[in-house]
Chains A and B, each alone.
Chain A
Amino acid sequence: MKTKILLDEGEMPRQWYNILPDLPTPLDPPLHPATRKPVTPDDLHAIFPMELIRQEMSPMRHIPIPEEVVEILRLWRPSPLYRAFRLEKALKTPARIYYKYEGVSPPGSHKPNTAVAQAYYNMKEGIERIATETGAGQWGSALAFATCHFDLDCTIYMVRSSYAQKPYRKIMMQVWGAECFPSPSTRTNAGKAILEKHPDTSGSLGIAISEAVEDAATHKNTNYSLGSVLNHVCLHQTVVGQEAKEQLAKEEVYPDVVVGCVGGGSNFAGISFPFAGDKLKGKHKDVDLVAVEPAACPSLTKGVYTYDYGDVAGLTPLLKMYTLGHDFIPPAIHAGGLRYHGASPLVSRLVHDGVMRAVAYHQNEVFEAAQLFARTDGIIIAPETAHALKGTIDEALKCRESGEEKVILFNNSGHGNFDLSAYDAYLQGKLEDYEYPADLIRESLAHLPKGP
């Protein structure tokens, strides 16, 4: 019985899996915020390279991964699949728990799976610089890592509070050669306008997005890059699920349950889409795909499925997704990567159609699970990832009740070595269990923009 199930480098997937053609009906298109008509490739070309726009709408089930991208992914891929024997024992469950560990990447999470691909396509189209935003820095550090491999400049607008309070991610970005500015900054009109009104503001992800988009739109040599939500980002993450499927096949098993945490949705998409494809095609109708989100920001479990803006300012195309409203500012939970008002349109659609389901948890129970895992399997995981773990543990406990020997797979999407202050707050009993008051809000969601 192996603890680590490994693939050779030669066994790494050479194609991304695109779920779009396997949907029973086409995905609702993104709409232009001004015209409310479906966006055209030209609308997006001001800030994205053409190849990524093609991937965003591609009808092809499999899209080849360029050799230059594979070469860099090979630095840590294929990532290991672990069997969590010690967690199973601690839970006294007959379930078999496997996890795919993405914390082995240099930036420590699944994020570089798409960052490398995005940097590559921008380089190919002659772009010299990429601008992006980052909250705590996980995405920013992944893009800094990726751009340095293709000799691209990288400008990162980091939310000011994180810039000041969580310096290590910023230092990682600088080590990889990116420039990192606290947002709001004086480099953009959006930033200046905010600073004029609120000179002491601690910033927000919404402001940082506006700055990065403005930077890209106003510089010909610069493009914008997004670390989650969009179809092409989910696509690039499917290497995770494809590898996991191969690794489980070596164990001669297929998962009964696949679990991942959802903020924008790309890491859950990465682990689950290859299995969702099997489900859609009728090959494994019963596989249970579970998205886990925070009770403080429960877009999939408590939001409405409708068109909404992707950002706070309402500048992006309207996306059909589960949303809590684009003006919703989630509270300061420690799983910062899950603080997003919406969710990937693809994940939203699959949840809406019943192909996947979603559950939500409070912070304290999530950290309790993370501490248990640290003590059984050793890894101190990121607070975001801990949501997926909590969902897994609950499934395993159900198996203890029923006696079922289910195979549970979860995406261990990153380590929490820069999140120790969050663990400290948990240990000191200082974490609040924020919760979205869904029942009270239901009637006040009428302000969402109307669809076509």
Chain B
Amino acid sequence: MERISDPCIRIGFLVNPIAGMGGRVALKGTDGQFAEAVRRGATPVSTNRATTALRPIRDLPLFFLTCSGEMGENALRESGIKDYRIICQCPSRSSAEDTRRACHDFMNEGVSLILFCGGDGTARDVFSVVEDHIPILGIPSGVKMYSAVFGVNPVACAEIVTHLNEAVLRDSEVVDVDEEAYRRGMLATRIFGFARVPVLPLKTQVGKQIFDEPDEELAKKAIALFFSEILRDDTLYILGAGTTTAEIASNLGIEKTLLGIDVIKGKVLLARDADERTLLSFLSHGEKAKIVVSPLGAQGFIFGRGTQTVSPVVLNQVGVENVIVVATPHKLAETRMLYVDTGDEALDRAFGDSVLVISGYRMGQRKRILHPTTSNQGGPKH
């Protein structure tokens, strides 16, 4: 298991000062909406959130590299942290470009972790620079936090930083939400990429005879091994995005795209990064097909409106009964319910109230499904 084991930990720290401002004035995100948020009376919240996360760790032997003023320096100072150096001067009205510039500087300084305070937009900006080269951890302060890179709350982030040498690095989704669509009450998401995120291993539930598999990579291999046993040569498999489906393909000797939808049959790759039309052309011959997907994002989407390739048309053709959901026990432990919102209500209902998720070798877990019709709001509940 990969971990952060640097004895002198240097952390790149930044705050998106406007993150979360739109929430209380019903703007559902502040991308390009700062002036409107201020006009509606919004006040900055992220520095306070950051300070809450920093206070418990102020006496730890950490060294912070940060940005000037509201983009980091203020929160560090207010939380009583003295060991920091400003490496990036930022204007008072900061932008996504400032976030990206700071991340470039953090990378050049060789930090062990980037701790940022913001929402999905900030996560996307940070990830666009550092990709999977440096672990990142988000202090949640945004309006939308569908990405799986955030701590549950600021205090949980402090706990992860405190126990960084025990934390395990996990591939976690950075989700790109279409803010324009979101403001219209539609949740259209797509996976932007997979960041490396430190997580404290689950306090493993001790059964009477065995422990749960503590290593997520081994859990993925167990799922892949099971899949190789149930694979049928006469069936077309549409593999969704994610690291678990990638492991399934890898175990069959196939290199799969991480973010795309790939098609395999008889252990042969038929299409990489397939679009809806490609999928429908494969299905037009009436072949037996199964869709293999992993819940994505912090909310555990099985199918969101952003999964446009596996559209309602594709799903109806394959049949809901031929959808195989796979996920590691770790992912499932953090995702109490799964979410289906294809945009086609009848199709959503066809999934029923629960789904069996394959979570290991010859083992699954029954998980509840939340439909948009059972929720009072446009997005999924936590």
Q: How far is the CA of A441 from the CA of B356 in the complex (A)?
A: 13
Q: How far is the CA of A343 from the CA of B319 in the complex (A)?
A: 35
CB closest residue in chain A, given B367: A433
Task: Kindly supply a per-residue 1/0 record for chain A positions 287-325, scoring 1 wherever the CB is within 8 Å of any chain B CB and 0 otherwise.
Answer: 000000001100000000000000000000000000010
Is A425 part of the contact surface with B, judged by Cβ < 8 Å?
A: yes
Q: Which residues of B contact A336 (CB under 8 A)?
A: 207-209
> Cβ of B206 and Cβ of A165 under 8 Å apart?
yes
State whether A434 and B205 are in contact (beta carbons under 8 Å apart), knowing that A202-B210, A440-B324, A444-B230 are contacts in the complex.
no
Chain B, interface residues (CB within 8 Å), range:
20 to 34
CB closest residue in chain B, given A165: B206
Binds B, one of A148-156, A186-194, A327-335: A327-335
Is B358 part of the contact surface with A, judged by Cβ < 8 Å?
A: yes
Chain A, interface residues (CB within 8 Å), range:
35 or more
> Cβ of A203 and Cβ of B207 under 8 Å apart?
no
Chain A nearest CB from B379 CB (Å) reads 22
Is B85 part of the contact surface with A, judged by Cβ < 8 Å?
A: no
Q: How far is the CA of A202 from the CA of B212 in the complex (A)?
A: 10
Q: Which residues of B contact A332 (CB under 8 A)?
A: 205-212
Chain A nearest CB from B364 CB (Å) reads 4
Q: Which residues of A contact B363 (CB under 8 A)?
A: 296, 330-331, 434-437
State whether A437 and B210 are in contact (beta carbons under 8 Å apart), knowing that A425-B205, A432-B365, A444-B230 are contacts in the complex.
no
Is B118 part of the contact surface with A, judged by Cβ < 8 Å?
A: no
Task: Kindly supply a per-residue 1/0 record for chain B positions 340-382, scoring 1 wherever the CB is within 8 Å of any chain A CB and 0 otherwise.
Answer: 0000000000000000101111111111000000000000000
What 7 pairs between A and B have smallest CB-CB spacing? A336-B208, A332-B207, A136-B208, A433-B366, A444-B229, A437-B364, A165-B206
- A interface with B by C-beta (< 8 Å): 135-136, 159, 161-162, 165-166, 202-205, 295-296, 324, 328-334, 336-337, 339, 362, 421, 425, 429-430, 432-437, 440-441, 443-444
Is B1 part of the contact surface with A, judged by Cβ < 8 Å?
A: no
> Cβ of B211 and Cβ of A161 under 8 Å apart?
yes
> Cβ of B230 and Cβ of A329 under 8 Å apart?
no
Q: How far is the CA of A400 from the CA of B324 in the complex (A)?
A: 37
> Cβ of B208 and Cβ of A434 under 8 Å apart?
no
Q: How far is the CA of A296 from the CA of B211 in the complex (A)?
A: 15
Q: How far is the CA of A136 from the CA of B208 in the complex (A)?
A: 5
> Cβ of B230 and Cβ of A440 under 8 Å apart?
yes
Q: How far is the CA of A334 from the CA of B358 in the complex (A)?
A: 20
Is B333 part of the contact surface with A, judged by Cβ < 8 Å?
A: yes
CB closest residue in chain B, given A336: B208
Q: Which residues of B contact A136 (CB under 8 A)?
A: 208-209
Is B119 part of the contact surface with A, judged by Cβ < 8 Å?
A: no
> Cβ of A435 and Cβ of B232 under 8 Å apart?
no
Picked from A161, A296, A429, the residue with its CB within 8 Å of the CB of B210 is A161
> Cβ of B211 and Cβ of A202 under 8 Å apart?
yes
Q: How far is the CA of A425 from the CA of B365 in the complex (A)?
A: 16
Q: Which residues of B contact A328 (CB under 8 A)?
A: 362
State whether A331 and B230 are in contact (beta carbons under 8 Å apart), knowing that A433-B365, A433-B366, A437-B358 are contacts in the complex.
no
> Cβ of A435 and Cβ of B364 under 8 Å apart?
yes
Q: Which residues of A contact B209 (CB under 8 A)?
A: 135-136, 159, 161-162, 203-205, 332, 336, 339
> Cβ of B367 and Cβ of A443 under 8 Å apart?
no
Q: Which residues of B contact A432 (CB under 8 A)?
A: 205, 329, 332-333, 365
Chain B nearest CB from A368 CB (Å) reads 14
Q: Which residues of B contact A429 (CB under 8 A)?
A: 336
CB closest residue in chain A, given B203: A430
Task: Kindly supply a per-residue 1/0 record for chain B positions 169-181, scoring 1 wherever the CB is within 8 Å of any chain A CB and 0 otherwise.
Answer: 0000000000000
Picked from A166, A296, A443, the residue with its CB within 8 Å of the CB of B208 is A166
Chain B nearest CB from A202 CB (Å) reads 5
Chain B nearest CB from A356 CB (Å) reads 25
Q: How far is the CA of A334 from the CA of B206 in the complex (A)?
A: 8
Chain A nearest CB from B367 CB (Å) reads 7
26 pairs from A and B in contact (CB 8 Å cutoff): A162-B208, A165-B206, A202-B210, A204-B210, A205-B209, A324-B362, A330-B363, A331-B212, A332-B207, A332-B210, A333-B207, A334-B208, A336-B209, A337-B208, A429-B336, A430-B333, A432-B365, A434-B363, A434-B364, A434-B365, A436-B362, A436-B363, A437-B356, A443-B232, A444-B229, A444-B362
Q: How far is the CA of A432 from the CA of B207 in the complex (A)?
A: 12
Chain B nearest CB from A421 CB (Å) reads 8
Chain B nearest CB from A274 CB (Å) reads 29
CB closest residue in chain A, given B324: A440
Q: How far is the CA of A323 from the CA of B266 in the complex (A)?
A: 29
